[in-house]
Structure 1
Amino acid sequence: MEPMIVTDQEWRDSFALTGYALDLAFGSGENDFELTCPERVEPGALAYIDGTEYGGIVDGETGASDSEVATYRGRTWHGMLAAKVLCPDPGSDYYELFGTPEQKIAAVIERCGLGGVFAARAGAGSASRWRFERFADAYTGLRKRLAEEGLRLAMSREGGRTLVWAEPVRTVGDAVDSDLLRFEATSVRRCVNHLVCAGEGELASRAVVHLYADAKGLVSKTQTLFGADEIAALYDYRGADAAELESEGAKKLRELQTAGGVEVTDVDGSVEAAVGDVVAARDNRNGRSVSAEVTKVIVRASDGSLSVSYEVGGASSQQSGAPSVQGGGVSYTGGRGIQISGGVVSSDLEIGSENMLRGTNRGSSGWWGSWGDGAGSISEAVAPDGSRGVRLSCSRKSGTWFYMAFSVGAAAPELNAIKRGDPVTVGFSAKASAPVPLFLSLQHGNGTNRLVEKSASGQAIGAEAVRYAFTFERSAVQATSESVVFFSVPLEAGADVVVWGLKLAGGEVDTGWSPSPYDQPPAVQSGVVSIVQKAVGEPASVYVAFPAPFAKSPNVVVSALTSVPHKVSVSASNLSAKGFSAYLCRTDALVETSVEWVATVQ
C-alpha cells in the first residue's frame, strides 16, 4: 500500500503514514474523505498519495479518550474546488473565459484563491470560449465545460502542487467482452410520455407547459398517445419562465424516454478508469454492447491494501445495426478495474437530436450566396469557440437581395421523412459586426416552394455570439438536393456576419450542434499555413483549424518550407481534435514563412 504524505498547516511535507485506513470518494455527489491513523494530523493540513489524485485538506477530527487512533475528515482536491462558487462579475450575466484549457483552468484556480494548492498544467484541447452557469461551483463548472469539448478533468499531486489539466475522454474496456461480462437486456414498451412542466407563479397564475413524446421518443407539444398508453409526470421547476420551462422540460422528457435496460451481473477485469471516462463491454454472441460514464471514484485503504471502485451511470446499450441509445441515469457500482455487481442501468432512445445536414463542421464548404445588385463574399472563419464557421461579408450594399444558403443535399430523404405539420428546428450560432435583421427559411435553391409552412423573420443577429433556434412546421413540398437553409441578411457595406454550428433536426428544441452521423472523421489531413513574426528571434503562432474534426486528438508533424532550416524552427502545440497551434521562430529576418503540417490519427 502506498504511503500517505501528511503536511503541516503551512502545507510543508511533514511525515508519511504507512498504517492507516482511508475512505475517499470524488466525482458526482460527494467529494470528501475520512482518514484514520494513530498519528496526530493538524487541522488545515494536506494528506495525499503522491503521484495520484487521491488527497485533500483536513477540516476536522473525531477521537475518543480511550482510543489510540483518530479519524480525520476533509475535502478532496475536487471538494476544495466544489466549495467555490463562480459568481459573475458585477454588471455581467455570466462568468466567461477565453483561451486554452490550461489558461482557463489557471484563471479559475486564481479566481478561487487556490493557487497555493493547485497549478494548471498543459494538456489536451484548444482555445475556445467558456460560459459558466450562473453561480456554478468550480468543480462542476470545469467538468461541464471540458465535457462539451470531449475532455475530462485530470489531477495529480506532484512536486508540492496539485496539478490540474484536461485530458481526452477515453473509452476503456476494449478487452472486456462476454468472456468477462454477463448481462441481460430488457425492453420497455411505454415510459413517461407526457410531462407537465410547472414554473414561476402561484395557483392559476403559475406558468405551465405540456410536452409530449410520441411512440418513437420525439418530443413536441403535440400529444399522440392517449388512454392507457399515456404516462404523465410532473416537472416542478419553480422560478422558470415559460421559455426556460419549455427548454429544460424538453431536455428532461428526452431523458425519460427509456427503451429498456441492461442488468450487469458480473465483470472480471483490471481496466483503470477516471471520472468522465466511458466503460464499455461487449457480448460477442449476439452483438449487444453496454457502455456507461464513470461518475464517481471510490478509494478505500485498510489492512495494508488499497482498492479502487467506480460508480457508473448514464449508460447506453447498443445492438449491432441498431440506433445508439443514451443513458437514463440509474447508477451501479464497480469494483477494482470494473468489478461491477448486480446493477441495473436504464437507457433511452433519443430521437430528433441528430443533425440532418452533413458537413456543417467544414467551414465555408457547402455554403453559397447571391448579392443582388450589391457585392459580397463568403469565406471561412474561426468561431469564438474555436470551431470552423463561415463569414458573409458585404463590400457594396444591395438594393434588392443579399443572402447566403447551405445546401440540404444528401439530407433530403431524412427531411422528407418528417411528416407535414410536424416540427423541424434550425439552430445555429452567429454574431454580426453590427446588428442586422434576419429572414430564415427552408426552401429550394431558386427561392420558391418553401419546405416549411412559415418562415422566420424579425429577429436580429447582434454583435455578441448567440445561439439562435427557429422551429417550423414541415410543408408538403418535397426536399431535393437543391434545397437549402436560406439566410437573408441585408448587410451594410463593410459589415459581416459569422455563422457556425448549423444544425437541422426534427422536433421543437435545438439541442446544440452535433455532426451528422454520416460525417466520418478523417484519418489523415494536411495543409500549409503562413506565419510572420513580430520581432526576430521572437516566437509567433497561428491557430490551425482542421478541415474536418478528427475523432480524437491527432499526431501533428510540422516543417518549414525554407532554404535556411538552420535558422528556422517550428513546432506544434495545444493539439485537439479540432485543430492545433503552429509555432515559428526565425533568427535571421522578419519573413513570411510557409509551414507545412500533416495530422494523422491511428
Structure 2
Amino acid sequence: MQDERQLILADQNFRDIRPVMGAEIDMAIGSDENDYEIKIRRDQWDDRYKYGNVFYINDTEFGGIIGRKKINTTDSTISLFGRTWRGMLEKKIIRPPTGQDYKKVSGELSVVLDGLIAEHFGDYFVVSRSDTGIFVTDYQFDRYCTLLAGLTKMLKSVGYRLQIRYVQQERGQPGYVELSAVPIEDYSEKIELSQDSRLNFTFDENKNGINHLICLGKGELQDRQVIDLYVQEDGSIGRDLFYTGIREVCGVYENTSAERDELEEKGREKLAKLMNRTIFEMNVEQLKMNVEIGDIIGGRDYGTGMYAAKPIAKKIYRVAGGKTSLEYKVEGDD
C-alpha cells in the first residue's frame, strides 16, 4: 500500500506515471503563496517530467501543474516549479458582465461554484454535486477580483470554505481534482494548542499597525481623489473614524491610475496587510490534525497570556533531508 503522503507524477490527463522518490518538496497553499518546488536528483531524473504534467498527493490539496524547470549543476539537481490547484484559481479574474457594474450570482452553493469554475476552466476541475442546502441571493463580487478571492469571500459570508482535493482512481483510470463547498469548522474550543501540546510554535502579535489609511487616486492637488479608510473596533474596515488621538496611526496609499471604486478596493486590501494582526505558526505534524484552510483553531502561550483563535491561512508541506513536516500558519487581523 502506498504511503498516504506519497507524491505522484501524472500526465496532463491525470493518468498516473510513477511515484516520485527521493525528491525534496516545498509546497505551500493558502495566504500569499500557492506554489511549489520539487527538487529532483539528476540520477532520479525522468524525461516524463514534462511541462503540463502534474504532481499530486492523493486526497489532499497538495499538487499542481509543472510550469518551470531549473537546472543546478552545483548539486546535480533539477527543480520543477508550478502553481498549486488553488494557485490556478488565483490567476483567473471575475469580470463584471458587459453593461453591468458587478458580477452577481444566486443559487445553491455547489451550483454557483460549478458555474463559476466551468466558466473559467471548462471541465478541467470537477465540482462536487453535493447539495449543501445553503443559498446565496444576488451575491455581489468585488470588481475584477481573482476567482480565488471571490469564491473565498462568497463562501465565508455563509460560513463555508473552499475544499480542494485530488481523487486517485483505480486500475489505471485517470484521477481528478475535486472542488467543493464545505462548512467552516471551529476547533478553537475543542483544540487549544499550547505548551501542553508539546510542540513548537511562534506567536507574532502586532499592536502597532496602521488603523487609518489615506488612499490617493487620480487627479492633481485639490482635484485628487481621496478616500479615508479606518479600522473599526471589531477589526473590520470601514469609512467611519474609530481610533482617535494617540491611538490613531496613519498611513498613505497611492494609486494614481485608480478610479474611485478600484482605489477603495485596493486600499482595503492594503490596509488589511498593515493593520494590527496576530500571526500564530506551528508544526502540528504529531497531532495528526485534520484541519483545512479556513477552519478555525486556537493557540495560547501561558507565559505571556497571548491567545489567538483564527482561521488556518496557510499549509506548507516539506520533505528535506529525509524528514517530512507539515506546518500550519494561522494569521488574522486583531
TM-score tier (shorter) = 0.7 to 0.9
Q: Which amino acid aligns with 2:140?
A: R
1:17 aligns with 2:26: no
Partner residue in 1 for 2:78: 70
- Alignment check: 8 A CA contact 1:215 1:225 kept: no
Whole-angstrom distance in 1 between the partners of 2:235 and 2:51: 53
Q: Is 1:136 equivalent to 2:145 in the alignment?
A: yes
Instruction: Give the one of 150, 159, 171 matched to 1:150.
Output: 159
* Matched-pair contact (CA < 8 Å) for 2:30–2:313: yes
Please report the TM-score for the alignment, with normalisation by the length of structure 2: 0.75
Corresponding residue for residue 327 of structure 2: 309
**2:220: which partner in 1?**
202
Counting only pairs closer than 5 Å after superposition, residues 410-449 of structure 1 correspond to structure 2 as: none
Q: Determine helix, strand or coil for the equivalent of 1:88.
A: coil
SS in 1 for 2:67: strand
Report the TM-score, using the length of structure 1 for normalisation: 0.44
Secondary structure class of the residue paired with 2:50: coil
Counterpart in the other structure of 1:4: 7
Shift of 1:86: 2.3
Q: Report the CA distance shift for 1:111/1:273 in structure 2 as closer, same or farther (over 3 A).
A: same
Query: Which residue type is aligned with residue 72 of structure 1?
Result: L
Residue 167, structure 1, aligned to residue 182, structure 2: yes
Inter-partner Cα distance in structure 2 for 1:187 and 1:42: 44
Shift of 1:94: 2.6
Contact 1:281 1:291 in 2 (8 A): yes
CA separation of 1:237/1:291 partners in 2, compared to 1, >3 Å: closer, same or farther?
Answer: farther
SS in 2 for 1:170: coil
Question: Aligned partners of 2:232, 2:105: CA distance in 1, in Å?
Answer: 40
Match of 1:119 in 2: 127
The answer for the alignment partner of 1:444 in structure 2 is none
Q: 1:123/1:149 Cα in 2 relative to 1: closer, same or farther (>3 Å)?
A: same
Matching residue within 39, 42, 54 for 2:62: 54
Cα–Cα, structure 1 residues 280 and 213, in superposed 2: closer, same or farther, change >3 Å? closer
Q: How does 1:356-371 map to 2 (within 5 A)?
A: none
Which stretch of structure 1 is more off in the superposition, 229-238 or 127-136?
229-238
Deviations 1:166-191 (A, max 9, x none): 11112235232555279989896x87
CA displacement at 1:286 relative to structure 2: 10
Say whether 1:300 aligns with 2:315.
Answer: no
Residue of structure 2 equivalent to 1:324:
none
For 1:84 and 1:214, locate their aligned partners in 2 and report how far apart those are by CA, in whole Å: 31
Name whichever of 85-94 and 52-61 sits farther off: 85-94
Residue in 2 that maps onto 1:571: none
Are the structure 2 counterparts of residues 79 and 221 from structure 1 closer, same or farther at C-alpha, using a change threshold of 3 Å? closer
Structure 1 residue 56 displacement after superposition = 0.8
Separation in structure 2 between the aligned mates of residue 208 and residue 95 of structure 1, nearest angstrom: 26
Instruction: Please say if residues 117 and 125 of structure 2, whose CA atoms lie closer than 8 Å, have aligned partners that are also in contact.
Output: no
Secondary structure at the counterpart of residue 66 of structure 2: strand
Which amino acid counterpart does residue 15 of structure 2 have in structure 1? R
Q: CA deviation at 1:64?
A: 4.9
Displacement after TM superposition at 1:265 (Å): 9.3
What does the per-residue CA deviation read over 1:486-519, in whole Å, with 9 as the maximum and x for residues that have no partner?
xxxxxxxxxxxxxxxxxxxxxxxxxxxxxxxxxx
Which of residues 265, 269, 275 is equivalent to 2:293? 275
Distance 1:57 1:123, change over 3 A: farther
CA 43–281 in structure 1, closer or farther in 2 if over 3 Å, else same: same
Structure 2 letter corresponding to 1:155: I
Q: Secondary structure in 2 aligned to 1:102?
A: helix
Deviation of residue 197 (structure 1)?
Answer: 3.7
Indicate the SS of the match to 2:86. helix
Per the alignment, do residues 51 and 210 of structure 1 end up closer, same or farther by CA in structure 2, a change over 3 Å counting? Answer: closer
Shift of the 141–221 alpha-carbon distance from structure 1 to 2, 3 Å rule, reads: closer
> Shift of the alpha carbon at 1:7?
1.9
Q: 1:119–1:66: structure 2 CA closer, same or farther, 3 Å change rule?
A: same
- Name the structure with the higher helix share: 2
- The count of aligned residue pairs is 311
One-letter amino acid matched to 1:30: E
2: CA distance, partners of 1:217 / 1:71: 41
3-state SS of paired residue (2:155):
helix
Q: 1:577-588 to 2 correspondence within 5 Å? A: none
CA RMSD, 1 decimal: 4.1
User: Relative to 1, partners in 2 of residues 1:272 and 1:223: Cα closer, same or farther, differing over 3 Å?
Assistant: closer
Q: Which segments of 5 or more consecutive residues in structure 1 lack a partner in the other structure?
A: 315-326, 328-346, 348-602
Q: Which of 187, 192, 210 pairs up with 1:176?
A: 192
Q: Counterpart of 2:172?
A: none
Q: 1:104 to 1:59 in 2, by over 3 A?
A: same
> Deviations for 1:49-82, whole angstroms, at most 9, x for unmatched residues?
1121111111122235787642211111111222
CA distance in 1, matches of 2:278, 2:231: 22
Larger Rg, first or second structure (1 or 2): 1
Asked if 1:39 corresponds to 2:39, the answer is no
Query: Are 1:33 and 1:74, in contact at CA under 8 Å, matched by a contact in 2?
Result: yes
Matches within 5 A, 1:437-586: none
Change (3 A) 1:5 1:187: closer
SS of the residue 1:56 aligns to: strand
Q: Distance in 2 between matches of 1:5 and 1:140?
A: 28
State the percentage of identical aligned residues: 28
Deviation at 1:137, TM superposition (A): 2.0
Aligned mates of 1:14, 1:216 — CA distance in 2: 51
CA contact (8 A) 2:192 2:297 kept: no
With over 3 angstroms needed to count, the CA separation of the structure-2 counterparts of 1:199 and 1:308, relative to structure 1, is same
SS in structure 1 of the partner of residue 292 of structure 2 = coil
Question: CA contact under 8 A between 1:94 and 1:131: conserved in structure 2?
Answer: yes
Q: 2:105 aligns with which of 86, 89, 97?
A: 97
Change over 3 Å in CA distance of 1:54–1:110 after alignment to 2? same
The unaligned stretches of length 5 or more in structure 2 are 170-174
Change beyond 3 A, Cα 1:295–1:212: closer
CA contact (8 A) 1:184 1:262 kept: yes
Distance 1:177 1:155, change over 3 A: closer
Shift of 1:206: 0.6
Whole-Å separation in 2 of the counterparts to 1:60 and 1:184 = 35
Structure 1 Cα separation of the partners of residues 235 and 17 of structure 2: 58
